[in-house]
């Protein structure tokens, strides 16, 4: 594995917290920074996956409800527009 050196400055309180938690977990400061970066990127990836899952669930519920109440094509389009406006990040057609 090749590595790359990245230098950064932290506010004093953040640096103290970083050292504290590194020591608490028996890690070096560098290991703690790497762990924090990995945790952050993993969390961001999970948010994307969860948003996609929410979008898929909403689409499927919309399809099931549409089939159940037998909306006209125009009513379905109106409902889809309303959902798209109300639910951030969700797109139904």
Residue 8 structure tokens: 């950064």
Q: State how far the alpha carbon of 46 is from the alpha carbons of 33, 40, 58, in Å.
A: 20, 10, 18
Query: What is the rounded average pLDDT of the residues 38-43?
Result: 98
Task: Annotate 4-14 with b (16+ C-beta within 10 A) or e (fewer).
Answer: eeeeeeeeeee
Q: What would the pLDDT profile of 66-77 be if each residue is shown by its tens digit?
A: 888 988 889 888
- The pLDDT value recorded for residue 7 is 93
């Amino acid at each position: 594995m090749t590595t790359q050196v990245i230098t950064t400055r932290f506010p004093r309180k953040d640096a103290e917290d970083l050292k504290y938690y590194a020591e608490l977990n028996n890690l070096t400061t560098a290991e703690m920074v790497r762990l924090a970066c990995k945790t952050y990127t993993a969390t961001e990836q999970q948010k994307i996956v969860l948003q996609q899952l929410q979008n898929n669930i909403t689409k499927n519920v919309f399809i099931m409800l549409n089939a159940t109440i037998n909306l006209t094509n125009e009513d379905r389009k109106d409902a889809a527009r309303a959902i798209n406006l109300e639910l951030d990040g969700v797109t139904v057609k």
